[in-house]
Structure 1
Amino acid sequence: MNFQAKLGTFLDLLWNLIGVKPKNNSFAMEKALGRGTPKRIAVVTGANKGIGLEICRQLSSNGVQVLLTARDEERGTAAVEKLRASGASDVVFHQLDVTDSVNASSLADFVRNQFGRLDILVNNAGILGTESDSQRRGGGSSFFMSRETYKKAEECLNTNYYGAKKVTEALLPLLQLSQSPRIVNVSSVYGKLQGIPNRSIQREIGDVNRLSEKKLDELVHSFLNDFKEGKLSKNGWPTSFAAYTVSKVALNAYTRILARRYHTICVNCVNPGYVKTDINGNSGILTVEQGAKGPVMLALLPDGSPSGLFYDQTRETSF
């Protein structure tokens, strides 16, 4: 007799002993296996601080079971404890380096074994891609960008774009088991196509009906090559916050590709606004509570909502 059959027999004996039997014994079995929970299940990447942490808090307050993920286990665990201390009980931690495919697969295995499905994925992990520093003056904060290096550009693309892809690809089979799956890609105002000076590249990335994932990857690879060879300006790439801009433009394009490919999954991207976070030296004008509002809104969209769109906080905007 296999494990599930044994569990079914055990549950029948238990119901007989207590004199109550549920109408749906299969659901009870799913519950005993850690599945079948009525709560929605969400994974949030890069969530040990800032907007990601607040997204977890707001999702939890809306009755969602949240998996807070972060690269650093100590910081991630501390973040969960902080949320629980504030009353957010349905939050657990799982270590995740979004640039590591094996790590992403391990997360997928954990979600599969614990919950059997995934309802919400928020790709929030991101870095600026510059050597930067912040310094406080007169009670305020000032942000200084030192320089952009090829190494930092690679790290930025590997985290913001390729990292989001790795995590999404690992979790897609579990999202497809959900009755109302959602993917939210946290982007930026820098993700707008106008940030790419080269009009030809703008047109290629903006042609959502013809753009393929392979072509998008080729364009990102071309950017990195041009960065390495000092040809950004010559070939019409941005020269300020270059890698960050290209990473967010690519993430937005990937959002549209996913929406076109998976009609049953609601996939959108969002600029959370200029929020006070470590990435900008806390020089933003919005609070993390305000910044999380858009991503959380998209994560909780009702069935039948539009997919493949870009939002500026809570309002639809153009790509």
Structure 2
Amino acid sequence: MQALHTINDIRSALKQARRAVEQTKLTSTVGMIPTMGYLHEGHMSLIRRAKSECDLVVVSIFVNPLQFGPTEDFDKYPRDAERDLRLAEEAGADFVFMPSVQEMYPAPIKTKVIVTSITDVLCGASRPGHFDGVATVVTKLFHIVQPDQAYFGMKDAQQVAVIEQFTADLNSPVRIVRCETLREPDGLAMSSRNVYLNEEQRKQAVVLIETLRRIDDWVAEPGMTIEKLTQHIRGNIESAPLARIDYAEIRTYPGLEPVASMEEWHANQPILVALAVKFGGTRLIDNRIFG
């Protein structure tokens, strides 16, 4: 495995690696996993899947300042390059691209990729500009690496919807591969931010998955409405004393339109129940897709 820090180096290394593969077969495929580092088993599962489907696997590790608001945790975001390299190699990565902020943004950026509508709700409503930063950096990474497939976990379902939207709108040749959310043994969705939780916050955070798992029973109750279902969801989360709800919403997927009735719930379309909840200063997200 090679760890590379400049755009020129990753492009050159991939060009040589593709040529080597194509000496034995007609074409080569590159899979990419964009990350902000502090890798966990969820990231490793994406790397392993990419390795099983592609000739070459590139993991990018870049904490992107464009997607952090002025009061958010850019400087405090966990970083451990040595550990990340070890885990990426164990999972089967061929290349790790670890650029600096100066390498990615050598001058103040004047061009951004902006996705509308689906970025105005959920995390986009409480983190204005966040998805502009995500769309811009992922577009840059796709242009740098030129992968055939890119792998994203569904823990951040809105992010996946945004990436699918701009790749479709811009006719990007990259195929976006959705991957199942990986969870801790108690059900908490794996996240680099879980390390911020103290013991009691970590214990109470499982209320998120417990709430998502109870939805089937609530939907089956006679006379259930979207309003009542939302009340059940919020009430169950609020039973954890440390939980502070940012949002708990029911929307179509991937369009992220509001769901007005149980008739829409039972129609032949995917429905997203999306949660964002703070425990102390740590904001966790989770979701479940129905239908």
Does TM, scored on the shorter chain, surpass 0.5?
Answer: no
TM-score by length of 1: 0.34
Bigger proportion of residues as helix: 1
TM-score by length of 2: 0.37
